[in-house]
Structure 1
């Protein structure tokens, strides 16, 4: 697996790219995370240009199978966060392959 960027590394890279200090970059990242969380939890969607779209999907009640026993169980309806990756990001990754 490729290198993973930690939050500290992301804040440092964001500060460097925007020409701000790490404290301001950290605040921007926290604000962005809060906005996305609040919007998606309210049923909205957030599009990050060049990255993708983050939204909430309602899943209906369904029958599932317990993998260890094979027993059929009823799974209640729930909500999941989905991310659709932007075509621009897919294309830029595949161009380097």
Structure 2
């Protein structure tokens, strides 16, 4: 499902215009990004939780030259699906 498909689905299910659904989705995405940038978790009951964790620095190899290179520390986003969402798949 692409963003436009999601917006259309939200509009139909909520009985609102596509423009309103788009604004709501963009506000959700913006609020989620801002919260994660501050290091907070974002939880939606029945859906899942987004959190930020720090991936440690490590040594890697350039696949073309096989030379070792240092990969720096990096913040990454992790999503943990709720048990409700996971159970709905089976």
| Structures share fold, TM-score greater than 0.5 | yes
TM-aligned CA distance change 1:67 to 1:85, over 3 Å = farther
Deviation at 1:17, TM superposition (A): 1.2
- SS state of the match for residue 51, structure 2? strand
1:32 aligns to what? 28
Alpha-carbon distance in structure 2 between the residues aligned to 1:66 and 1:92: 42
Deviations 1:16-61 (A, max 9, x none): 1111111111110000000001000111110122221111111222
Q: Which residues of structure 1 form unaligned runs of 5+?
A: none
> Aligned-residue CA RMSD in angstroms?
1.4
- SS state of the match for residue 44, structure 1? coil
Q: Which moved more, 1:24-33 or 1:6-15?
A: 6-15
Aligned residues: 90
Runs of 4+ with >3 A deviation: 67-70
Whether 1:75 and 2:71 are equivalent positions in the alignment is yes
Q: Return the TM-score normalized by structure 1.
A: 0.82
